[in-house]
Amino acid sequence: MSTVQSSPGEAAPGASASGPESYLDLQRSPEFGELRRGFRRFVFPMTALFLAWYFLYVLLAAFASGFMSHKVGGNINVGLLFGLGQFLSTFVITAVYVRWADRRLDPAAAALRARFEGTQGEGTQAGSEAR
List pLDDT tens digits, range 37-94.
999 999 999 999 999 999 999 999 999 999 999 999 999 999 999 999 999 999 999 9
User: Domain for residue 4, yes or no?
Assistant: no
Is position 77 within any domain? yes
Q: Is residue 69 part of a domain?
A: yes
Cα distances from 83 to residues 49, 71, 95, 106, in angstroms, run 16, 14, 19, 32
Residues 29, 106: Cα–Cα separation, whole Å = 17
pTM of the shown model:
0.67
116 close to 39: Cβ distance less than 8 angstroms: no
Residue 17 lies in a domain: no
Average pLDDT of the chain is 81
Residues of the domain holding 87: 30-117
Asked if 124 contacts 117 with a C-beta cutoff of 8 angstroms, the reply is: no
Phi, psi of 105 (to 5 degrees): -75, -50
- 130 found inside a domain: no
Length of the chain equals 131
pLDDT band at residue 22, thresholds of 50, 70 and 90? confident
Domains: count for the chain: 1
Report if residue 57 sits inside a domain.
Answer: yes
